[in-house]
Structure 1
Amino acid sequence: MKQLVAFLLMSLTVWPPLAVGQAPTAADSLRLLLRTQPRADTVRVQRLLALAHAVRVGDIPQATQLNEEALTLARKLAYSDGEAEAVLALSVIYRRQTNYDVARRYAQRAQRAFGKRADQEGLARVWLQMSWIDLLQGNYVAALSSALKGLPLTERTGDLLTRTRLQINMGNIYNQLGDYAAALSVLRTALSNAQRLEDPQTVLIALNGLGNTYQTLEKWPQALSYHKQSLNLSKQLGNVSGEISDEINLAQVYGQQGNQAEALAHGLRARQLVRATHDDYNLPLVELMLAQAYLLANQTDSVLLLAHHALQLSQQTRSNSNIRDASELLAEAYAKRQSFKQAYRYRNLQMAYNDTLFGEDTQRKTSALRYGYELDRKRAQIALLNKTRQLQAQTAVRQRQQLYALLAGLGA
């Protein structure tokens, strides 16, 4: 009921006029067009989707309502392209709110909608979304499988942006699985592509991935350099969610180096931003990072409070990597307090999730996926080469036939 009331209020809102000298934004222009041109057609669906995209960062409820309105109208008009784009946009919104089950259902609907239209570009974006959902939950086999399904589609359509973002996902997965050489190679390629595209948001996530990989390798100067570049870009773009992630990453790097003062400074800044924006996705990460900083200071009460809450939130969203990290912190904090029974309990939980994330089965399945992908690529290259040779042979035969005909004509 509250959603319906909010929708009606939004529909009846008279948008305030721009202040004198204030330049209209893209969102202002779209609102004006939607208000002054109320005709229910496919153009309106496109404008609703565009406005939802424009406000998605600052106003998630409004973005959700606009996409739902676009979806309803697209269905009424039997506008399959608009319906597919609307459900994919809703999947992205719910993923950002850590509602992964709903996000997955919308992504599956988008997959069916794009599949009916044989839209390979749309399907590649769906596989990217599915890869993100599983990556954020620590389901690395499924995340890599989706990325490898999307990648060939982008190669066929020439969609470099989606290909670059899939590469970033793959680089982050390889980092998590301990294949750092592959991670750095893929992420450097992705960063180069993002810079060539002049897409700052993609540059941002590529920088973040490189910083995380160097952080895992404990190469602190490189990790700090990439995270600081990412933080500066987030501030330039006004990307608060990116700024939160960067502050968390910097806090973690300083914490791993034993620099408690810098770790707490960046951690508290991240928490301030999370509270101001009600960022449910980053809240467990912030709490875990602060708990790590307090562990360095032997403030076990603060560690236990933050880590328990982070564990509770992460279990609700089934975020395996966060559950593992929270369990590890709880085990260490209880051990410091000599509560060995509790420490043993959480150490076992940590080990169980370690096995889920990085065990032999995960390694075997991801290796098989990569091998299968490379084998398919080689087969495609061989098939293309054979086809090229056949065409060249056919061309040569035609040229000989033409030459013989010409000589026969001259002889006659």
Structure 2
Amino acid sequence: MNKRFLCFLVFKLVFLSVGFSQESAKEVLRAKILNYPTPPDTGLVNLLNSISTEYMLVKPDSMIYFATESIQIARKVKYPLGEARAIGNMAKAYYVKGSYDLSLKHAISAKSASEKINDKLGLAYALNSIGLIHLTQNKNEEAIQDFLKALKLATEINSVKIQASVYINLGLAYTEYNRPDVALKYLGIGLEHCKKHSLNSYSAMLLNRMAETYYSLKKYERALEHYRLVLSKPEYKNSWEYSLAYSGIARIQFERGLLAEAIDNAEKALLYARQVNAKYDISRALKILYAAHQKQNDYINAFKYLELEKLYSDSLFNEAKEKEINRLHLQLKQSENLQLQKLNEQNREQLKFIRKVTIVIAALALFLLIKTILIFRFSRQKSKLNHDLKIKSQAVEEQNQLILKQNVQLETLNQTKDQLFSIIGHDLRAPFGSILKAMEMMREGGLSEAELKFFLDGFYEKLRETSDMLDNLVTWASSQQLGINARPVSLDLSRQADEILSIYDILLKEKNIELKHFPSPDTNVFADPDHVRIIIQNLIANAIKFTPQDGEISIFYTADADRIAIHIKDSGIGIPAEKISKLFNLAGKEISTYGTKNEKGIGIGLLLVKRFADENAALISIESKEGEGSEFKVSFGRRGPVG
């Protein structure tokens, strides 16, 4: 089974009994908390838990905030049930964020708290959460046992929604365990359960899950039957499930050569998937549309859908890699806990040994009171033993400090490697993938002159973006690994900028941007020439990238007694306030932004600007307003480093 699809589907189903919140519901709850009487009591704890639950799938950080407040108040008013439920909410929020180690920690804590007060509902939720985390670790047997325990508890307390959720999770677990027969059994039981209790959303999901299982078994007619059942009942209407059903039908029609029908159903799937921004379902529908149009020799539409699909598939790939990193982090934590347990056991053995030694020493001391000669002899032996032990302890401490220092260095290098591969995997795969696919179409022939020009223009844009990105990546990676050694000299900042401007003539002409440079006669600063060149190049390239057609860029200078500053001001799209604080600290998808001609930006250039500026004691400031442009100011010392 497609692992990415499993993770995505579990994300949808993990806490399905809560459902998507309505804004009106959150507003009502917020109003209640504002008007809540003092002092706090159990009612406030329950209200905070309700608010926390409402934010689960949309703002997990807000969910954590309200759950934390609930825990503090629950402990203050001695309300263990409310505390247990809040801890369970923390486990759910961290699961949604992909922090599986923290999710497992809180789920186990919620399980323990629920067992102490015999809260079967909270215990069922905790077991369901633990099972889902085990699924992400490929511990299918353990996950199945957790789900069966949760199902037993949910049945005892007649919680129909938890039962429905667990049936779906059992279907997923047995599918991953390569037992589709058992998976279909539980999915079928779950479907009858949901029909009996009118749980329509769950019914639609179960039908789709069964259809996917039949498809994996190549039982296409059975799969079509279940997909169409989802679409045939108005009470099952759900954008997410409709998208999955339509794309499932389109996939089978494509394999049977029914291209027009496949395109029609894939377009419906895409429409519903976009309504809920379901990235996996959007990518799935786009893949079918691309393949079907390519079969029809409609290369323009095929290329259009391929471009869109690459955007979503790369985003899903990056999310999957982040979840994989979190899964490995959880395994590392568990391994560290096991090592800690072993260390504690060793310490206990050492304590036992020390007690025995103490008893022996006491016995010897008593004996030495009688034998004065032996007292002196054994006293010297003890002093020597303590001295040797102290020397060995010092040696062990020095070794531990050395190991700790090496671990810190290794962790820093490992983080750099992870960040570099994450950026390469996310941002370099897309342009190369697009170029390869387009070249395949060109090799097959049948392209008109206009289509060929369209592809060649696209090649140029992709290769230029990729070249700039690689230059910055190489410079950044080198600085991370080898460090930066500034060699400052006296240089003319204005002349340095003037020499760089000719590089961007073609880019400026393409976007018809007017660049105004106002040189100043007194712009000598003390800095490394190569570092200054990289700083100015990246800031000018950034300004061009985010300045629209027919825009304007100005470069001018200001000075005071100690510093000279270069200003690079554009009439571009501006920077959102929430991103300004991240510009010089992060790279990758958190700060990635497209330029005015869809130029790809990943933030590496600004990281280089910050690092080289710091090495040359330069100061950076930004003034930006969305829709009106940005101004970057970098000031250098006139006479060597200035604090």
Normalised TM-score (structure 1):
0.62
Aligned to 1:104: 60
Match 1:188 to one of 145, 169, 186: 145
Aligned to 2:291: 332
Which structure ranks higher in relative contact order (CA pairs < 8 Å, sequence separation ≥ 6)? Answer: 1
The alpha-carbon deviation at position 195 of structure 1 amounts to: 1.0
Change (3 A) 1:364 1:64: closer
User: Is the contact made by 1:194 and 1:203 (CA closer than 8 Å) also made in structure 2?
Assistant: yes
The alpha-carbon deviation at position 353 of structure 1 amounts to: 3.5
> Is structure 2 residue 126 aligned with structure 1 residue 169?
no
The one-character-per-residue Cα deviations of 1:29-84 (angstroms, maximum 9, x if unpaired) are xxxxxxxxxxxxxxxxxxxxxxxxxx988x979976875565455x2344354334
Change (3 A) 1:172 1:89: farther
Amino acid at match of 2:142: S
Aligned to 1:270: 230
Change (3 A) 1:118 1:310: same
Spell out the pairing of 1:272-291 with structure 2 (5 A cutoff): 272-273=232-233, 275-276=234-235, 279-291=238-250
User: Is the contact made by 1:244 and 1:270 (CA closer than 8 Å) also made in structure 2?
Assistant: yes
User: Is the contact made by 2:45 and 2:70 (CA closer than 8 Å) also made in structure 1?
Assistant: yes
User: Is the contact made by 1:172 and 1:183 (CA closer than 8 Å) also made in structure 2?
Assistant: yes
Equivalent-residue separation in structure 1 for 2:345 and 2:289 (angstroms): 55
Q: Which has the larger radius of gyration?
A: 2
Amino acid at match of 1:194: L
User: Is the contact made by 1:307 and 1:326 (CA closer than 8 Å) also made in structure 2?
Assistant: yes
The alpha-carbon deviation at position 171 of structure 1 amounts to: 3.7
Unmatched tracts of structure 2, length 5 or more? 1-16, 76-82, 116-122, 356-643
Amino acid at match of 1:147: S
The one-character-per-residue Cα deviations of 1:115-142 (angstroms, maximum 9, x if unpaired) are 43365513322223314544xxxxxxx2
> Is structure 2 residue 91 aligned with structure 1 residue 128?
yes
Change (3 A) 1:69 1:388: farther
Equivalent-residue separation in structure 1 for 2:286 and 2:27 (angstroms): 38
The alpha-carbon deviation at position 381 of structure 1 amounts to: 8.7
User: Is the contact made by 2:210 and 2:226 (CA closer than 8 Å) also made in structure 1?
Assistant: yes
**Structure 1 vs Structure 2: percent identity of aligned residues?**
11
> Is structure 2 residue 320 aligned with structure 1 residue 358?
yes
Equivalent-residue separation in structure 2 for 1:309 and 1:236 (angstroms): 31
Match 2:69 to one of 88, 106, 113: 113
Aligned to 1:205: 165
SS of residue paired to 1:88: helix
Change (3 A) 1:223 1:238: same
Change (3 A) 1:326 1:118: farther
The alpha-carbon deviation at position 228 of structure 1 amounts to: 0.9
Match 1:85 to one of 18, 24, 46: 46
The alpha-carbon deviation at position 229 of structure 1 amounts to: 1.8
The alpha-carbon deviation at position 289 of structure 1 amounts to: 3.3
Q: For this pair of structures, how many residues does the alignment match?
A: 316
Aligned to 1:239: 199
Amino acid at match of 1:240: N
Equivalent-residue separation in structure 2 for 1:346 and 1:195 (angstroms): 45
Amino acid at match of 1:268: R
Spell out the pairing of 1:9-408 with structure 2 (5 A cutoff): 67=29, 70-73=32-35, 75-79=36-40, 81-93=42-54, 95=56, 100-101=57-58, 103-104=59-60, 106-117=62-73, 119=75, 120-131=83-94, 133-134=96-97, 142-159=98-115, 160-174=123-137, 179=138, 182-196=139-153, 198=156, 199-216=159-176, 219-273=179-233, 275-276=234-235, 279-297=238-256, 298=258, 299-315=261-277, 319-338=278-297, 339=299, 340-342=302-304, 344-349=306-311, 351-359=313-321, 362-376=323-337, 379=340
Change (3 A) 1:144 1:267: same
Change (3 A) 1:285 1:109: farther
Larger fraction in helix: 1
User: Is the contact made by 2:52 and 2:62 (CA closer than 8 Å) also made in structure 1?
Assistant: yes
The one-character-per-residue Cα deviations of 1:301-329 (angstroms, maximum 9, x if unpaired) are 223312321442343xxx44334433433
User: Is the contact made by 1:212 and 1:223 (CA closer than 8 Å) also made in structure 2?
Assistant: yes
Worse-superposed segment, 261-270 or 350-359: 350-359
Amino acid at match of 2:244: L
Amino acid at match of 2:216: Q
The alpha-carbon deviation at position 214 of structure 1 amounts to: 3.5
The alpha-carbon deviation at position 367 of structure 1 amounts to: 0.9
Unmatched tracts of structure 1, length 5 or more? 1-54, 135-141, 395-412
The one-character-per-residue Cα deviations of 1:214-238 (angstroms, maximum 9, x if unpaired) are 4356543222122112212222333
Equivalent-residue separation in structure 2 for 1:185 and 1:303 (angstroms): 39
User: Is the contact made by 2:92 and 2:129 (CA closer than 8 Å) also made in structure 1?
Assistant: no
The one-character-per-residue Cα deviations of 1:171-199 (angstroms, maximum 9, x if unpaired) are 4434xxxx2xx134223233134314535
Larger fraction in strand: 2
User: Is the contact made by 1:304 and 1:333 (CA closer than 8 Å) also made in structure 2?
Assistant: no
Root mean square deviation, CA, Å:
4.1
The alpha-carbon deviation at position 144 of structure 1 amounts to: 1.9
